[in-house]
């Protein structure tokens, strides 16, 4: 089931191609026009097939023509901090709280299990810039990260947002760090796409 409201086409294209939004190159209105989407996949379809299904849905509704290429752009390199990795190797516990919303009110959070390459991909969605794994690590880790949201919601109290920013949080809690730089990364260039979707 795919259900979203007020999604931009850049968001949908990023999800369809398994990329982050900065790696979708196209007209400016990809960020301005918004759409609601409700789609259901057949039972038994694996998660690995959902990107292909979303590509097919977008092709049916918006007729995109796109190609993959390499482009140099600002990135963050994910490296091991001087303190060393602070994440426990899977299947050890992540040491995160049982009820994080109570302990860290107002904070944004990220929790899961994965390699540093997978963590880099998740972080790239937070900082809205490609994050490339340069740690050289191959283990799978449990991780729990809390940080001040980049876009606080209306009504959040200042005291509740007394959390580290994402850059400090990954060093203090994960033992990783961002190193800004530039590199060639794969992007999707949208050559053509219909602005108005076809009818269901």
175 contacts 85 by C-beta, under 8 angstroms: yes
Check whether 135 has a pLDDT greater than 90: yes
Strands (E), the chain: 2-8, 24-25, 34-39, 65-80, 108-114, 131-133, 141-147, 176-192
Check whether 52 has a pLDDT greater than 90: no
Check whether 31 has a pLDDT greater than 70: yes
Out of 51-60, 119-128, 148-157, which region has the weakest mean confidence (pLDDT)?
Answer: 148-157
Strands (E), 46-124: 65-80, 108-114
CA pair distance 79, 146, nearest whole angstrom:
19
Confidence of residue 159 (pLDDT cuts 50, 70, 90): very low
Check whether 154 has a pLDDT greater than 70: no
Nearest to 115 by CA among 74, 164, 173, 176: 176
> Which is more confident, 88 or 105?
88
Q: Is 34 helix (H, G, I), strand (E, B) or coil?
A: strand
Check whether 95 has a pLDDT greater than 80: no
Q: What is the pLDDT averaged over residues 12-29?
A: 93
What pLDDT, on a 0 to 100 scale, did the predictor assign at position 195? Answer: 92
Nearest to 55 by CA among 14, 21, 25, 20: 14
**Torsion sign, CA atoms 176, 115, 122, 11:** positive
In this prediction the pTM is 0.81
């Amino acid at each position: 089931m795919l259900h979203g409201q007020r999604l931009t086409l850049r968001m949908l294209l990023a999800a369809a191609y398994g990329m982050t939004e900065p790696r979708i190159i196209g007209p400016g209105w990809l960020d301005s026009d918004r759409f609601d989407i409700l789609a259901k996949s057949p039972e038994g379809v694996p998660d690995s097939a959902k990107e292909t299904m979303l590509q097919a849905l977008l092709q049916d509704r918006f007729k995109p023509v796109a190609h993959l290429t390499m482009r140099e752009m600002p990135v963050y390199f994910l490296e091991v901090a001087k303190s060393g990795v602070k994440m426990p190797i899977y299947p050890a516990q992540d040491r995160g709280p049982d009820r994080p919303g109570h302990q860290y009110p107002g904070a944004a959070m990220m929790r899961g299990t994965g390699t540093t390459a997978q963590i880099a991909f998740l972080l790239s969605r937070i900082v809205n810039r490609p994050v490339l794994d340069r740690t050289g690590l191959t283990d799978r880790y449990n991780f729990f990260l809390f940080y001040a949201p980049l876009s606080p919601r209306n009504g959040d109290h200042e005291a509740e947002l007394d959390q580290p920013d994402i850059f400090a949080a990954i060093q203090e809690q994960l033992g990783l760090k961002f190193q800004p730089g530039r590199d060639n990364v794969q992007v999707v260039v949208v050559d053509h796409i219909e602005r108005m979707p076809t009818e269901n």
